[in-house]
Chain A
Amino acid sequence: MLRFLVRRVLQAIPTLLILSILVFAWLRSLPGGPAAALLGDKATPEKIASLNHVLGLDQPIILQYFKFLGRAVTGDFGNSLVSAQPVMSEIGTFLPATIELGVSAMLIAIILGVPFGYLAARYRGGAVDNVIIVLTLIGVAVPVFFLGYTMQDLLSVPLGLPSQGRQAPGIDATSITNFAILDGIMTSEWDAVWDAIKHLVLPAFALATIPLAVITRITRASVLEVFNEDFIRTANSKGLTQQVVRQRHVLRNALLPVVTTIGLQTGALLGGAVLTERVFNFRGLGFLLAEGIERRDYPRLQALLLFGALVYVLVNMLVDVSYGIIDPRVRVR
């Protein structure tokens, strides 16, 4: 197992290196640049050229890359051009918000998606099935930002739900971990917990839409497939009640592909979080990334994109390792 793990880690290093080259080259191929971003709207071409020289951005790109790499391996990704803060500390500050939002969205998607999918399969072809299929189609098709703005306009004021931010300005909550709900529980500041939950509702539902639709459809398809399996027929023929068959055999077996889908959708959440966090001013990594793109904040973008890549690589490694645990034959491949 240890050799398997070491091999996977060693495989991850070149992946990250290649990604770092791609990210670095991509950012530098974009028009505009850090100097223009630093100098603001009134920057003249001469001033931009001058600052490019000060920053070493007029040096050969390979030299720039190796300098960047040298700093990056020590964890120094420089300071954000927007906030002038070290980008690593920004990631530390903003990551909890994204985790909070992502976990909430995924919980909503699972709690609603699995039963919906099951119901659709059970009443296949009926009204319930049709309604659920139409809703999932809408869920996948409607862009997150459109849904977000619509929810803000239609639901925020009538339901008394905050439309932006993570906490109301009046809430002076103690910050320990930067996880708003967790901090509130740890300090018994229940007002702050309730406030944080209210702030999560609209963005979490907006972000949950796509995974909810996908999980619903996968659950439906999977349950239908299991219904037709031989062992279900065997179970039925043994005289088991329908309830027992559904709970013990159908749902349990149908959930395997659903779990895989949940894993994939968790990875995809980061993409959705960029738009959702922007629309709801929910200050997480997606918010940072969107602001970084708008302002051509290269140090921030470099760090965030590589951080995202690292998360993907780690998640893949975890999946591989778990496969290795479940099926030892994978390890020797």
Chain B
Amino acid sequence: MQLLRLTRTRRAALIGLAGALAVSLTGCAQSQRDEAGGGGTGGTMVFGDTGNPKMFDPVFNDDGETFRITRQMLDTLIQNKPGTAELEPSLATKWEPSNDSKTWTFTLKSGVKFSDGTPFDAAAVCYNFNRWFNMKGAAAQSQMIYYGDVFEGFAKNEGDAGGDPVYKSCDAPNAGTAVLNLNKAKGAFPAAFTLPSFAMQSPTALKQFNADQVTQSGDSFSYSDYAYKHVTGTGPFKFEGWDQGKGEITLVRNDTSAEPAKLDKLVFKVIPDENARKQALKAGDIQGYDFPAPADYGLLRNEGEQVLIRPSFNVLYLGINQAGNPKLKDVRVRQALAYGINRDQFVKSKLAEGSEVATEFVPKAVEGYTDDVTKYPFDQAKAKQLLADAGASNLTLKFYYPTEVTRPYMPNPADTFTAISEDLKAIGITIQPVAEPWNGGYKDDVQKFHKQDIHLLGWTGDYNDAGNFVGTFFGREKPEFGFNNPQLFSALSAADAAPAGDQHAKAYQAANKQIMDFLPAIPIAYPTPAIVVGPKIKGVVASPLTDERFNNVTLG
């Protein structure tokens, strides 16, 4: 069995951060898992979600609001261990790559059925993989965001879905063994098998309700009834209804599941406004909600609610556009920015508890993290000296920051901007602030039109692979950063293709060292978002990947 191997450092970090928080706050997850299986303790939990789901066929989705719901109904081959980003068996009890990582053999859990009675076996696994690979139509393919990213192409690439497919074929030598053949090794595996988009769905239901029928309707897409009403998996809950008018999605216990939920019913109530979610919890309309504002943690705790801090799986960074200002091409200037920012103080004063200063672009919980990188502790004198050495003592920088948004990695962009710009002013840099709405041009201006000199941005990981972080940022020449460093690009490309396991992790650790020497941007912090549940709720384990499963939840 090829399970994720952990470095000592990472293991320590995980134990210290995730384990302590998750276990101490919610009780022993493992023992609760053991208790599950059949006899539910009943009741209904209503959970406040931050936004509408799009629909429920996860392969056409990439948003957290949808995944929050599909994760309760659909299982993946591999899953994340509760409270961590470590891998553990789910529908596959074992997974083993070949030496060249081009063949993955999955041993499947036996006796599992989809909620419509269809057996879960190797044929069902291959049906799902073949379905994704053979998906037809530009509309369908352009909506398969994660599949496109991870598998890099389709049997017939339509529209602009180009690329050379990673997927080759799937064999089912017997009911309990599925063999996935790839055209090339992919560093994202096995972690990417945990992605909710790659959850297993019932072949019977997929066929019966024309799940592959995605059509274009003007500026948008329409999906078959399957995606709205008939999504069918092996998970602890199954779909019951979606009341658009009330903004409620209702799931009920799936008694055919290998581990049925303890609750009778799970209702997701969409409440986009954070204050309204808090009010609903106080009024008892809901029993938990996502992403409380850090400023409310104390208040919520005083009122007896449980604020569960998620181990960080994201990074906030100060982007640097070397093409925007010639002075920024000089590494001494970039180093000066790094030394000039008091990240310790920023993290302590502006971010939620549990947040940490970022020393590189992957969080500690991610395979490929290493402590052995060049660090840039706060040192204003050194920063000023570096600027003087580079002839940039009178540097002026256009500093872009977003408005009308909060992200898990950036709860308050204006506060973040103010703190960092004050630090930079203190080392003699003149700041020209440019504030833009997040959905009103900010991302275009910094990522496409490269109008900025420096800017704020970040990333929340999708699965436990360093490539999902650093490969996305620095794997190729991008307008956001405005540099061309073939050595770094090839190091990241080699790391992506390195076989899973230690070799893969070491390749990324080496790349991370290079990145922190070259310093194309400045990692600022690993912020920690939270989830809040009522005082009597038991069994919720805060996940770094927002992968909280409610199968073990009891109402106390």
- Chain A residues proximal to chain B, CB less than 8 Å: 30-32, 34, 36-45, 47-48, 50-51, 53-57, 67-68, 71, 76-86, 90, 93-94, 96-97, 149, 152-153, 156-157, 162-170, 175, 178, 278-281, 283, 291, 294-296, 298-299
Contacts and interface: CB of A to CB of B under 8 A. Distances in A.
Interface stretch (B81-89, B198-206, B278-286): B278-286
Interface in B14-53: 44, 46, 51-53
Contacts of A96: 245
Contacts of A86: 217, 222
Interface residues of B, number: 60
Contacts of B479: 45
Interface string B451-480: 000000001000000000000100000010
A163 B278 CA distance: 10
Given A83-B244, A157-B282, 16 more contacts: A31-B437, A42-B145, A78-B220, A79-B218, A80-B220, A81-B219, A82-B52, A83-B53, A149-B275, A163-B276, A169-B248, A169-B269, A278-B272, A281-B247, A298-B219, A299-B218
A219 B142 CA distance: 58
Contacts of A164: 271, 273, 276, 279-280, 285
Contacts of B269: 165, 169
B279 A152 contact: yes
8 contacts: A31-B437, A51-B160, A68-B219, A84-B227, A169-B286, A281-B247, A281-B280, A299-B220
B244 A281 contact: no
Given A31-B441, A162-B283, A296-B439, A83 B52 contact: yes
A39 B447 contact: no
A166 B220 contact: no
A281 B52 contact: no
A291 B275 contact: no
A156 to B, nearest CB: 6
Contact of B218 (A53, A67, A170, A281): A67
Contacts of A83: 52-55, 244
Contacts of A30: 440
B265 to A, nearest CB: 10
Contacts of A67: 218
A94 B245 contact: yes
Most chain A CB within 10 A, of B275, B286, B459, is at B275
B537 interface: no
A94 B52 CA distance: 14
A299 B54 contact: no
Interface in B208-252: 216-223, 227-228, 243-248
Given A76-B217, A162-B283, A166-B245, A50 B160 contact: yes
A78 to B, nearest CB: 3
Interface in B508-539: none
A79 B160 contact: no
Nearest to B247: A283
A77 B285 contact: no
Contacts of A42: 62, 145, 459, 472
B444 interface: yes
